[in-house]
Amino acid sequence: MNDPAVDTACVRIGMLGFGTVGEGTWRMLQDNRAAIAKKVGTQIEVARVGVRDLVKPRLVSPSIVTGDLESIVDDPTIDVIVELMGGVDPAGRLIERALKNGKHVVTANKELIAKQGSRLMRLAAKQGLDLHFEGAVGGGIPLIQPLKHQLSGNEVLKLMGILNGTTNYVLTKMQEEESDLDVALQEAQEKGYAEADPTSDIDGFDPQYKLSILSSIAFNAEMPVEGVYREGIKRVSKRDIEFADLLGFRVKLLGIAEAVKPTGSDEAGGVRARVHPTLIPKEHPLADVRDVYNAVWIQGDFVGDVMFSGRGAGASATGSAVVGDLIDVCRNIQIGGAGNNMPIDNLLQPLSMDGLRTAFYLRMTVQDRPKALGCIATVFGNCNISLAAMEMRTLPRGRGEIVFLTHPCIELSFHRSLKALRNIHFIESLENWIRVEGGGA
């Protein structure tokens, strides 16, 4: 039974976590309090805040702060739990407990939703509750709701996006200022765009989680995180950026998911989801997305090409998405129901990278030898790979740097060519290779 001293005319919020995004969410709720109340039809009150560190100064009154997070999800006066802790545990356990206690949930926890989202959505639907997570993907960019609603009549053919602001900032600096990756990353850390441990961004875990979520919504079936191929940007160098520019491309860390129809004996149907550095033509709209901005390009069978872009992270951007979800939930509370869950009950069939058909960029260092190019071309030909472009640079001591751009080929065939090239004595090293999107045709 609710405490009679509690004001039941407002929606009471319990926040789990009060870091950067928590502060951004709270500021927006306070600064826009009157406008939000008018949109919802009642006041929204942050009634309790759960944190791990009780000593750290907070923007909120100490009287509502507690280290006992379980007490918040068990509090019968709390209507909505806003989870901004991050990680899988204890966040997942607390959200599950909140749903079982009859509380709606808003979260920005990409790792949790990617790994346990389908299960939690099914629980929310069973309980007749909302579970919203717009802030988990793209920060302030509206992506989840458009996919669930405005674009839901379309069959999504392909989605492709810049899903991580840190790596996009690093690659932008490498492109525009000719910085080395380590220098650009250090600058990103100094500006607060990258964590002290940037592994999640640089190694591609962050966009892998986000693409898992987007794929599940876009294709209406669960895409397990392990079904998303992942590759970070550590191997991308200034030389790759320079050659890409010369060939008419930009280098971006992209998340790509596309439906693949069965092709008889060649490949079963399913969805191929992948995160990796990609050469993308300069004329593509994603090529001009700079710095910490994110963007997602979606191709639907009826709507055609649609693109969403904006700040992908930070207190204000992600806080905006959280508050937007919160307003949606509070409106549903006002009318006595939940209306935005999309429970996912089936699994996607993730396809391996072996059958991917795409063009490739390959940079190598070779010794200057007669018939060297002919020998290399023969290897490609034997693997059913044709070449679209080539660039060469002379290096000291009778060596050269060669870059090849292939026509689209099967990934497995390309890897066979790499194995054969490594056995040629005059090739000193295969410096790097990168997939190409929309080029080399």
Nearest to 134 by CA among 111, 164, 108, 159: 108
Query: Computed over its alpha carbons, how large is the radius of gyration of the chain?
Result: 25
Q: What is the distance between the alpha carbons of residues 376 and 393, in angstroms, rounded to a whole number?
A: 16
Nearest to 218 by CA among 268, 132, 285, 158: 158
Both structure tokens of 276: 């990796």
Half-sphere exposure of 142 (CA within 13 A, CB side): 11
Quote the DSSP letter at residue 136.
G
Catalytic residues: 210
Q: What is the distance between the alpha carbons of residues 131 and 104, in angstroms, rounded to a whole number?
A: 6
Q: What is the distance between the alpha carbons of residues 264 and 81, in angstroms, rounded to a whole number?
A: 48
Both structure tokens of 52: 């791990």
Q: What is the distance between the alpha carbons of residues 376 and 239, in angstroms, rounded to a whole number?
A: 21
Nearest to 58 by CA among 95, 27, 98: 27
- Helix, strand or coil, per DSSP, at residue 326: helix
Q: What is the distance between the alpha carbons of residues 216 and 223, in angstroms, rounded to a whole number?
A: 5
Q: What is the distance between the alpha carbons of residues 338 and 102, in angstroms, rounded to a whole number?
A: 12
Total Cβ atoms within 10 A of residue 134? 27
Both structure tokens of 153: 């009549």
Q: What is the distance between the alpha carbons of residues 51 and 39, in angstroms, rounded to a whole number?
A: 29
Q: What is the distance between the alpha carbons of residues 441 and 406, in angstroms, rounded to a whole number?
A: 8
